[in-house]
Amino acid sequence: MLVLTRRVDESIRIGDDIRITVVKIKGTQQICVGVDAPRDVPVLREELLIDRSELVDESESSNS
């Protein structure tokens, strides 16, 4: 994993099409980031992906 330090209004680029910008820092535990990406690139919080995969696993096991 690459770890980078950024300040408010500084960005990280991923490829040519994705930019992640630090928008705001709240205390010592939380930052707000903005993500600029093409519409065809899904951008989701990781916990939403985990919840979805658990739901799919549960529905598949109940259908068996």
**Domain-located, residue 4:** no
Contact 25, 10 (CB under 8 A): no
Looking at the chain, the whole-number percentage of residues with pLDDT higher than 70 is: 78
Q: Alpha-carbon distance 1 to 37, whole Å?
A: 21
**Domain-located, residue 58:** yes
**Tally of domains in the chain:** 1
Q: Please give the pLDDT value at position 54.
A: 65
Any idea how long the chain is?
A: 64
Under the banding of pLDDT at 50, 70 and 90, the label for residue 59 is: low
**Domain-located, residue 2:** no
Higher pLDDT, 49 or 23: 23
Q: Alpha-carbon distance 19 to 34, whole Å?
A: 8
Instruction: Taking residues 11-21, report their average pLDDT.
Output: 97
Structural domain boundaries enclosing 20: 11-63
Higher pLDDT, 38 or 55: 38
**Domain-located, residue 1:** no
Q: Please give the pLDDT value at position 48.
A: 84
What is this structure's pTM?
0.72
CB atoms within 10 A of CB 28: 6
